[in-house]
Structure 1
Amino acid sequence: MDGELAVIGLGSVGSMALWQAARRSGTGAGEVVGFEARTPGHTRSAVGGDTRLFRMTYRGGPRYAPLLERANLLWPELEAEAGQEILNRCGGLSIGARDGEYLPQLLASATADGTPFEFLDHDELAARYPQHRLRPDDCALFDPRAGFLRTDRAVLAATRAAREAGAEVLEDTAVDEIHEEPDSVVLRSGPRSWRFERVIVAAGGWSSHLLPPPVAAAVHPRRNYLTWFVARRPEEFTPERFPIFIRIESDRSLYGAPSTDGVTVKATLDGRSQPAEHADRLRRELTEEEITETRETVSEFLPGLVPSIVRADAFPDLFTADHAPLLGCLPGRPRTVFATGFSGTGFKIAPASAEAAVAIAFGEPATEAKEFDPARFGAG
């Protein structure tokens, strides 16, 4: 055996899995090994883009609530080990029409889950957050536990904490193949091979070739793009004055985060991912249509931003056919845990998903993962 547990991919979930596994009693000290095709936090992965939104009022439904609640506790633990801020709890707004489709559904979900929130009617919202230009029937839910995550910082902190706990990290080592045997799992990278008792597959957009055929047929990489704008008055868009936001209207949608550099603000169209041929081959530049719609939406919703895109990029992620993660084992393959296919929703729940994946790998219950059993796509 080359170790007790291998983690393939050290991105948003994989880095957290390596950290969670290495800190367990009896692991670490070379028994936990992370395989990364490039380097942790590299700029071409789904981690790219500086920040991700964290929110507890979430339209994904009640099945995500246990993972969100657990992540809400684990992010501070990582911050404590890292000695730096990873989650800035500036609060979060969910904006939409009072009688539209989005806001009533979110209100019902938050109420059913018992998630704390504050309802802001049109006038309250306008008075408290004048940065948003509202339509006549717009209202909002304010989530006091929401904020933004520093993605690069989080991944590097988790990887560093794992190393300090004894884990080994193999960079520039892409895993080409995995094969589960009765007593172990064999990994191959070019001419090299390793044997581990258990494996977690968390390679994001690069996971497809490591999945058995029925599951691989149900996933595909997609391109997600992000855009940034210059604030006319940067002091109005600081975390203290401008919470993260998601705005869903009948004809337009936008989400964003406060300025982290004192100059620019992230504001990006919601739900615009597009299929990609491969995670390594996706268009980084925006199309003219994407640029036009983004500028028009920002111009209407956020008049305090100059409606010219000053920075844009695109990143891959692995999506499943039902847009829900793969989190668990397949029948007949108890030593291989899949923690991938998060379909654009993975970062906020990354430490909780990783904790569940590690528990499953060691044969322990993880009830918060039961809704995301990979076997729903076939036994493999």
Structure 2
Amino acid sequence: MDGKLAVIGLGSIGSMALWQASRLTGSVVGFEAQSPGHARSAVGGDTRLFRMLYRGRRDYYPILQRSRRLWAELEAESGQDILTRCGGLSIGTVEGPYISALLETTRINGAEHEILSRDAMAERYPQHNLRPDDCAVFDPHAGALRTDRAVTAAVAAAQANGATVVTDTPIASILETEDGVVLTSRDKTWTFENVIVASGGWSQRLMPDYLKAATETRRIFLSWFVAKDAAEFSPEKFPVFIRISGDRSMYGAPSVDGVTVKATLDGRGAPTPAPDTVARSLTPAEIAETTDTVLEFFPGLFPNIVRSDAFPDLYTKDGNPLLGHPAETRRIYCATGFSGAGFKMASGYGEIAANEALGKRSFAGLDFVRPGRFKTR
């Protein structure tokens, strides 16, 4: 045996699983095809939104609560600012489907929030140009997660706890045996008692066929704009936001470099043939829709994209992650398929994956993420 646990992929979820596993055993190895936090994975793009207000499944709320505490623990261990606590805004049509669904879930969970009218928004957050029938819901615990810092800090913390990290080593295949799981990369093999597959858009090749059929790699693109007055878009004055107003939708984060502001179209992930072939440049249609939306939503931004990029991520058919052992395995654990919405809960997901893969603890109430839901007879 080369160890008790291998974590394949040290990106958003894998880095956190490695960190959490290193707290449970001194015999864990992380494998990364490139290097932790590399710019071509779903980690790229500087920031991701953290928010406690979530529409739809109430089951995410306990994971968000735990993730919030774990982000603070990672900051304490690393000494780095990982979660910039600036609050968050959910903006949409009054009594429209987005705000109604968000408030329904929020009230069920009892999450702290404040409803802001259009007039209140104009006074507190004049950076946003709301439509006459828009309102906002403020989340005081939201913020911007610094993705590259989070991943590198988690990997460094794991190494400080005794974990081993193997970089520039793509895993081509995994094979479960009676005694363990055999990993193959080029002409080298390793055997571990258990394995976590957390390689995002690159996870499909390591999956059983029924999970391959239930997932697809999609391209996510991001865009940034220059502020006319950068101080007005600083974390102290400009919370993270998600806006779904009629036919337009956008999300973004405050300026973390003192110059540019992330403002990106929401829900535009499109299927891509392979994670290695994602088109990094935006299409003319993507540019036009993005700039038109910014022109309406943010009069304080110059409506010209000054930076853009695109990244791969693995999506499931129902938009919920794959977290658990596939039905036919007991040593291979899936922690992938987070469908463009995993980073906010990555620390919590990593804790669940590490504990369950090592057999230390199981978690109830997670049937909606278990891989077996896609298994048919």
Normalising by structure 1, we get a TM-score of: 0.97
Q: Per-residue deviation at 1:60?
A: 4.1
- Residues 90 and 240 of structure 1 are in contact (CA less than 8 Å); yes or no, is this contact kept in structure 2? yes
Conserved in 2, the CA contact under 8 Å of 1:53 and 1:149? Answer: yes
Amino acid at match of 1:77: E
Matches within 5 A, 1:206-225: 206-225=202-221
* Greater than 4 Å deviation, 4+ residue runs: none
Matches within 5 A, 1:280-359: 280-359=276-355
Give yes or no for contact 1:66–1:368 (8 Å, CA) kept in 2: no
- 1:78 corresponds, among 69, 74, 84, to 74
Structure 1 residue identity aligned to 2:22:
A
Aligned to 1:43: 39
Equivalent residue in structure 1 for 2:192, among 193, 196, 200: 196
Name the SS for the 2:330 alignment partner.
Answer: strand
Give 2:3's aligned residue.
3
Could you say what secondary structure the match of 1:70 adopts?
Answer: helix
SS at match of 2:59: helix
Structure 1 position 248 matched with structure 2 position 244? yes
TM-superposed CA distance for 1:135, in Å, is: 0.6
Q: Does 1:258 align with 2:261?
A: no
Gaps of 5+ in 2: none
Cα pair 1:13 1:354 within 8 Å, conserved:
yes
**In 2, distance between residues paired with 1:261 and 1:368?**
40
Letter of the 1:377 partner, please give it. F
Letter of the aligned partner of 1:10 in structure 2? L
Q: Look up the match of 1:22.
A: 22
2:364 alignment counterpart? 367
> Which region of structure 1 is more displaced relative to structure 2, 367-376 or 213-222?
367-376
Aligned with 1:353: secondary structure?
Answer: helix
Distance 1:54 1:179 in 2: 36
Q: Taking every aligned residue pair, what percent have the same amino acid on both sides?
A: 59
Equivalent-residue separation in structure 1 for 2:6 and 2:328 (angstroms): 19
Deviation digits for residues 67-103 of structure 1 (CA, Å, limit 9, x no counterpart): 1111011000000001011001100000011121111
Question: 2:22 touches 2:162 (CA, 8 Å); kept in 1?
Answer: yes
So what's the TM-score if we normalise by structure 2? 0.98
Between 343-352 and 358-367, the greater mean CA deviation after superposition: 358-367
Measure the CA separation in 2 of the matches of 1:330 and 1:19.
23
How far did residue 368 of structure 1 move? Answer: 5.1
Alpha-carbon distance in 2 for matches of 1:293, 1:73: 37
Mapping for residues 131-210 of structure 1, pairs under 5 Å: 131-210=127-206
CA distance in 2, matches of 1:59, 1:12: 22
Displacement after TM superposition at 1:365 (Å) = 1.1
Q: Deviations over 1:132-151 (max 9, x none)?
A: 01111111100000000000
The one-letter code of the counterpart of 1:102 is: Y
Which runs of 5 or more structure 1 residues have no equivalent in the other structure? none
Please say if residues 112 and 140 of structure 2, whose CA atoms lie closer than 8 Å, have aligned partners that are also in contact.
yes
SS at match of 1:280: helix
Describe the shift of the 1:204–1:138 C-alpha distance in structure 2 as closer, same or farther (beyond 3 A). Answer: same
DSSP-derived class of the 2:278 partner? coil
Offset of residue 379 of structure 1? 6.9
Asked if the contact 1:323/1:343 (under 8 Å) is kept, the reply is yes
Contact 1:328/1:369 (<8 A) preserved: no
Query: Bigger shift: 237-246 or 177-186?
Result: 177-186
1:110 matched to 2:106? The reply is yes
**Paired AA for residue 182 in structure 2:** V
Distance 1:369 1:351 in 2: 16
Q: 1 CA distance for matches of 2:214 and 2:280?
A: 25
What secondary structure does 1:332 align onto?
coil
Q: Give secondary structure in 2 for the equivalent of 1:330.
A: coil
The answer to whether the Cα contact below 8 Å between 1:67 and 1:368 also exists between their aligned partners in 2 is no
Q: How many aligned positions are there?
A: 376
Please give the secondary structure, in 2, of the residue aligned with 1:343.
Answer: coil
After superposition, the C-alpha distances for 1:177-230 in whole angstroms (9 at most, x for unaligned) are 111112211111111111100000000000000000111111111000000000
Per-residue CA shift, 1:20-75, capped at 9, x if unaligned? 00112xx12xx100000000000100000000000000124212112111101100
